[in-house]
């Protein structure tokens, strides 16, 4: 920042007060200083930039175009700064843990756990987002990412090893005469989350076919979806067979809505808990990490017992 901009920044509170008060006397009252302090600071800025900010007479004060522009800009910046300070202070005082998760994971796993979180004394705010959260700019404390990890510049914890699992409803299995001992003996109706198929992360029907020699049919989906939870919901409704992954399908299997076809296949990507190094040192993060790790273990154990 050059010297002129630094002096202008230092004068910003005076310019902002002038924007709000529209007079030297009232601006001085707002700042709790003498009127001459305001007029001297404004005169110094005019001399600095070589532009007159106000037309002065013995009775009136009129803003020039330059005065309107600079005073309005100073007022906007100080207002933004005050709002940002309030957000920082509120964030520091708040007990809420803001968690950014993919929409599928939010709907199929995190949201059903919120009651348990409250019982454990955690106040969790869920932000369902497809984009990767930027902890330096976004209002999130932690995130859960599905990928290869770890993520440079962030504190990362792998929550579990991940598996892919084809699933269908009991009604679909019965209607199509699927033998659970040989589920790939006849063609199935494939339900596909096309975003996972196009994503560079190795997960999808192509990866499943490569890992399952008995699955020989051509991959031609009857329906495409842009989220895995939607494909799983379609499978629950009896439309066909969807490919689920760890943490997204266990509860549906437990409730009897979906039935696994064949054995789950391990995949490279996993669910990772991520946060900034700064937030990783807080007790809130440690409490959340302990709780979310317990929920992952509990979910996977429930699926194993089902």
Residue ending a domain, among 68, 93, 118, is: 93
Other Cβ atoms less than 10 A from the Cβ of 292: the count is 23
Domain that holds residue 231: 95-306
Tokens 């933004």: give the residue. Answer: 80
Residues 89 and 164 in one domain: no
Residues 18 and 37 in one domain: yes
User: Cα angle vertex 147, ends 114, 99, to 5°?
Assistant: 25
Residues 144 and 265 in one domain: yes
Other Cβ atoms less than 10 A from the Cβ of 92: the count is 7
**51 — phi, psi (to 5°)?**
-135, 135
DSSP conformation letters of 139-192: S-SEEEEEES---TTSEEEEEEEEEEEEEE-HHHHHHTT-BTTBTTSS---EEE
Whats the size of the chain, residue-wise? 306
**290 — phi, psi (to 5°)?**
-60, -45
Residues 68 and 99 in one domain: no
Residue ending a domain, among 93, 108, 136, is: 93
List, in order, residues 6 or more apart from 141 with CB less than 8 Å away: 97, 98, 99, 135, 275, 279, 284, 285
pLDDT score of 53: 93
Residue ending a domain, among 58, 93, 128, is: 93
Number of domains composing the chain? 2
CA distance 306 to 302: 6
Ordered per-residue pLDDT tens for the chain, 306 residues: 577 788 888 889 999 999 998 989 899 998 999 999 998 999 998 998 899 999 887 778 899 999 999 999 999 998 888 887 777 666 666 789 999 999 999 999 999 999 999 999 999 999 998 888 888 776 789 999 999 989 999 999 999 999 999 999 999 999 999 999 999 999 999 999 998 878 888 899 999 999 999 999 999 999 999 999 999 999 999 999 999 999 999 999 999 999 999 999 999 999 999 999 999 999 999 999 999 999 999 998 755 434
Residues 144 and 191 in one domain: yes
pLDDT score of 8: 83
214-237: b (≥16 Cβ within 10 Å) or e: ebeeeeebebebebbbbbbbbbbe
List the alpha helices (DSSP H) in the chain. 3-10, 12-21, 24-31, 35-49, 65-93, 103-105, 114-119, 170-175, 194-198, 205-211, 228-236, 250-254, 277-280, 283-305
> What is the distance, to the nearest Å, from the Cα of residue 111 to the centroid of all Cα atoms in its chain?
14
pTM for the model:
0.70
CA distance 140 to 23: 42
């Amino acid at each position: 920042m050059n010297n002129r901009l630094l002096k202008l920044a230092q004068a910003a509170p005076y310019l902002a007060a002038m924007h709000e008060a529209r007079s030297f006397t009232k601006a001085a009252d707002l700042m709790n200083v003498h009127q001459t302090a305001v007029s001297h600071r404004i005169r110094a800025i005019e001399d600095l930039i070589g532009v007159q900010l106000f037309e002065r007479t013995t009775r009136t004060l009129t803003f020039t175009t330059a005065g309107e522009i600079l005073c309005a800009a100073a007022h906007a910046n100080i207002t933004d700064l005050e709002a940002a300070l309030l957000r920082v202070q509120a964030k520091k005082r708040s007990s809420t843990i803001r968690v950014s998760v993919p929409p599928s994971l939010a709907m199929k796993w995190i949201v059903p756990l919120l009651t348990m979180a409250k019982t454990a004394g955690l106040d969790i705010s869920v932000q369902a987002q497809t984009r990767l959260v930027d902890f330096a700019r976004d209002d999130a404390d932690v995130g859960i990412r599905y990928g290869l990890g770890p993520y440079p510049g962030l504190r990362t914890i792998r929550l579990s090893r991940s598996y892919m699992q084809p699933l269908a409803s009991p009604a679909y299995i019965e209607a199509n005469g699927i033998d659970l001992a040989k589920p790939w003996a006849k063609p199935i109706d494939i339900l596909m989350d096309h975003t996972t198929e196009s994503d560079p992360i190795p997960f999808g029907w192509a990866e499943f076919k490569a890992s399952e020699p008995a699955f020989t049919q051509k991959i031609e989906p009857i329906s495409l979806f842009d989220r895995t939870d939607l494909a799983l919901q379609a499978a629950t409704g009896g439309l066909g067979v969807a490919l689920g992954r760890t943490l997204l399908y266990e509860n549906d299997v437990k409730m009897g809505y979906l039935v696994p076809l064949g054995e789950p296949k391990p995949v490279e990507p996993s669910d990772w808990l991520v946060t900034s190094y700064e937030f990783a040192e807080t007790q809130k993060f440690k409490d959340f990490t302990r709780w979310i790790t317990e929920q992952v273990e509990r979910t996977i154990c429930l699926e194993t017992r089902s």
